[in-house]
Amino acid sequence: MALLIRRRRPMSEINVVPYIDVMLVLLIIFMVTAPLLTQGIQVDLPNAASTTLDPNEFKNKPPIVLSIDRDGNLFLNQGRHPEVALSDVIARNDVKAALKRVPGVPVLLKGDRGVPYGRVVEAMVLLQEAGAERIGFLTEPVATVRPLR
């Protein structure tokens, strides 16, 4: 007696349902985490008529930005813990290390309009002690000309 052996044909379809499930889970994760990654320090910048910065200048060298919030706390976008309140000594060391790593990197100071002027000067001196030769100040553009208060 001859046994009939049936050969199975290989399945040529791919079950994409598990891939769609994984994709939707990843999409939800990215939608939830993306806004959290873009948050920074809330600083109400003063208005000033000034020239805008050229984005091509920052392509290869992202700037060092020292922010001062309304309470006078310092925040730095460099170092082991970006955008975390820092003491003056830690900020000076992190800026010094960043300036050694990438010489000529732009250094910007972002101060809240409500912070006392003396704290802004202290932050500027801190950046100079760390080795910054030129310091730029970030401001909001003036929408209309208005008298000083």
Domains recognised in the chain with CATH numbers: 55-137 (3.30.420.270)
Rounded to an integer, the average pLDDT of 32-45 is: 66
Rounded to an integer, the average pLDDT of 10-22 is: 83
* Across 36-40, 71-75, 127-131, least confident range: 36-40
- The angle subtended at Cα 70 by Cα 105 and Cα 79, nearest 5°, is 35
pLDDT at 23: 93
Residues of the chain by 3-state class (helix, strand, coil), percent to 5: 35, 15, 50
pLDDT at 1: 54
Helix 88-101 vs helix 117-129: angle between axes, to the nearest 10 degrees? 40
What amino acid is encoded at 67 in this protein? S
132-143 b/e (C-beta count within 10 Å ≥ 16 → b)? beeeeebeeeee
Question: Alpha-carbon distance 30 to 5, whole Å?
Answer: 51
pLDDT band at 149 (very low <50, low <70, confident <90, very high): low
Question: Alpha-carbon distance 30 to 26, whole Å?
Answer: 6
pLDDT at 62: 79
Q: Is the pLDDT of residue 8 over 80?
A: no
pTM over 0.85: no
Pairing of strands 135-137, 107-111: parallel
Question: Alpha-carbon distance 3 to 17, whole Å?
Answer: 38
Is 109:123 a contact under the CB 8 Å cutoff?
A: yes
Question: Alpha-carbon distance 30 to 102, whole Å?
Answer: 31
For the chain, what percent of residues have pLDDT higher than 70?
A: 66
Give the number of other CB atoms < 10 A from CB of residue 109: 19
pLDDT at 47: 63
